[in-house]
Amino acid sequence: MNRYPADWPQGLIDVAEVIGAELALVLAGHVGGVAQYVPMHPESGHKLVKYIGLPALRLLSKVYGGDWLTVPKYAAGKSKRVKIKRLLNEGTSFRETALNADATVRYVTMVARDLRQASQQGSLFDI
């Protein structure tokens, strides 16, 4: 069984296997979609340190050091929406969903509205 959401691309999963899912999403959110050079021996001044920290960058360098790495961009927002939908479907309150999904209550409310509209619309094949 895959421990990552079904909508995650393999590139994001690969990075998550090295630095963890949360930091992989942070990286995707900040530099996703743009190739980033991963140094062989990272220093504290490297630009990726401000997003994921030096320990995580050192882990990445063990696997990707000396290479250019592109983490998919769209995965961060899409995964957050998937997590919100799952939590709402489990009956979690808007407040708790927002806290667990690192989102605002306003965004959770918007996703909930979209879910309601989609369920009320039905399918074209239901005719």
* Domain residue ranges of the chain, discontinuous segments joined by +: 10-69, 75-121
Query: 27-59: per-residue pLDDT in tens?
Result: 988 898 899 999 999 999 999 999 999 999 999
**Which residues 6+ apart lie within 8 Å of 44 measured at CB?**
54
Mean pLDDT of the chain: 87
Burial of 117 (0-12, 13-18, 19+ CB in 10 A): exposed
CA distance 68 to 80: 26
pLDDT at 127: 46
What pTM value is reported for the model? 0.60
